[in-house]
Amino acid sequence: MTRTEILHQTSQILTQAGIDDPSREARLLVCAALGVDGAELLARDAGLSADQEKKVWEWAERRAKREPLARIRGSREFWESSFLLNEATLEPRPESETLIELAMELFSGNEFSQKEDRTPLPSAYAKASADEFAQVTRRSLGEAGSGGAGGGHRAARSRSCLVRPSPLSPPEGRGNEIRILDLGTGTGCLLLSLLQEFLNATGTGTDQSARAVEAARENARALGFKNRARFICTNWAEGVEEKFDLVISNPPYIPVKDIPQLQAEVRLFDPAAALAGGADGLQAYREIALILPRLLSENGRAVVEIGQGQEEDVAAIFAHAGFKNIQQKKDLGGIIRALAFAAPL
């Protein structure tokens, strides 16, 4: 069987399974299974080995049962790296890159980041087009659980800032070092992506799942951050005594009543604990706001991801705890996706 033939048959399988845009999904799947990019797949109609055919059929069967391709591969691209997934980790979404961009904006004007300004590279997904994969992500996941925005790559985003913050000065007594805490770290994608950008940073990631912590530690090793990042299995920040210059989190924010209506790719394969945010989707924010005062250093900042339309409620929760909403940022779909808060004075 040739590449063209198996691509056609894979598309038919996904069509019969009711997968949106089956031709594009089939191309992404076959490219990933064979380890080739889209241009190579179509330019050279080579024959396949028995092992290659078996792999494509197995992957197609799993995708037909709504398992996301990233789960099938066991990894997902985020920012500029690939992150190992397991059953306890939320699949990183392109819109969560908004948190990284907002954190970088908050810390602009100081010397925390020593990386040279450069044209960012899109997050490649099995060497296929990032834009193509983002379109598939939006259709298969939707706003529920993923925000419905995408891109998988950095791009110019529209901004809607409540108050423009002044640049942070380096924490007193520690030169240009920045300490980062990632609450509910999952794969560690937020913390480890920030360590890529802030060369003098160190970080701690926490998660209540021991298996998620295992994945995060493996990702830190793979990316060369073993000595700059530590991961702790705990409930939010229990047992964490340090103070941090940046606290970042993508907490669960889906109301429990909405879980059954999520797309199958999310409902069946993302861990429920990483999705369900209580009756109103806001419970995690209440818990984080309560512990944040003891975690943030003077002049510290907190950045959290939110669901569509939650900005006012989340801002009110943090305001009640004494925090000021200093900035908000939209994702590529135009949805307010990240809020930044300043520590109480």
Domain with residue 16: its CATH number is 1.10.8
- Say if 17 falls within a structural domain: yes
- Per-residue confidence (pLDDT) for residue 47, from 0 to 100: 86
- Per-residue confidence (pLDDT) for residue 37, from 0 to 100: 86
- Per-residue confidence (pLDDT) for residue 129, from 0 to 100: 39
Structural domain of 96: 75-118+130-342
CB 184 within 8 A of CB 173: no
CA-CA distance, 53 to 71, in Å (whole number)?
Answer: 19
Eight-class DSSP state of 174: S
- Say if 316 falls within a structural domain: yes
Strands ordered across the beta sheet of 229-233: 229-233, 201-207, 178-183, 244-249, 296-305, 336-342, 324-330
Count other C-beta atoms under 10 Å from residue 7's C-beta. Answer: 21
Domain end position, chosen among 27, 47, 65 = 65
- Per-residue confidence (pLDDT) for residue 344, from 0 to 100: 61
In the predicted structure, residue 138 carries a pLDDT above the cut 80: no
Q: Tell me the mean pLDDT in the region 32-38.
A: 90
Residues 81 and 48 in one domain: no
Q: Tell me the mean pLDDT in the region 75-79.
A: 95
Residues paired with residue 247 on neighbouring β-strands, in sequence order: 181, 302
3-class SS of residue 173: coil
Residues 82 and 13 in one domain: no
Residues 171 and 239 in one domain: yes
Residues 6+ away with beta carbon under 8 Å from 54: none
Q: Tell me the mean pLDDT in the region 78-101.
A: 96
What is the pairing mode between strands 201-207 and 178-183? parallel
- 118-137 tens-digit pLDDT: 333 333 333 343 444 444 44
Residues 231 and 212 in one domain: yes
If one compares 178 and 148, the residue with the highest pLDDT of the two is 178
Residues 54 and 99 in one domain: no
- 295-313 tens-digit pLDDT: 999 889 999 999 999 999 9
Residues 199 and 334 in one domain: yes
Domain end position, chosen among 65, 90, 109 = 65
Q: DSSP characters for 109-124?
A: TSSS--PPP-PPPP--
- Per-residue confidence (pLDDT) for residue 177, from 0 to 100: 84
CA-CA distance, 103 to 341, in Å (whole number)?
Answer: 11
Count other C-beta atoms under 10 Å from residue 29's C-beta. Answer: 27
Split into its structural domains, the chain has a count of 2
- 245-291 tens-digit pLDDT: 999 999 999 999 999 999 999 999 999 999 999 999 999 999 999 99
Residues 199 and 261 in one domain: yes
- Say if 153 falls within a structural domain: yes
- Say if 125 falls within a structural domain: no
- Say if 124 falls within a structural domain: no
Residues 151 and 265 in one domain: yes
- Per-residue confidence (pLDDT) for residue 115, from 0 to 100: 54
- Say if 225 falls within a structural domain: yes
Residues 210 and 276 in one domain: yes
Residues 13 and 88 in one domain: no
Q: What is the CATH number of the domain that holds 183?
A: 3.40.50.150
- Say if 283 falls within a structural domain: yes
Residues 301 and 268 in one domain: yes
CA-CA distance, 192 to 111, in Å (whole number)?
Answer: 19
CA-CA distance, 29 to 15, in Å (whole number)?
Answer: 14
In the predicted structure, residue 160 carries a pLDDT above the cut 90: no
- Per-residue confidence (pLDDT) for residue 165, from 0 to 100: 37
If one compares 152 and 191, the residue with the highest pLDDT of the two is 191
Q: Tell me the mean pLDDT in the region 44-56.
A: 90
Residues 93 and 57 in one domain: no
**Arithmetic mean of pLDDT over the chain:** 84
- Say if 241 falls within a structural domain: yes
- Per-residue confidence (pLDDT) for residue 46, from 0 to 100: 82
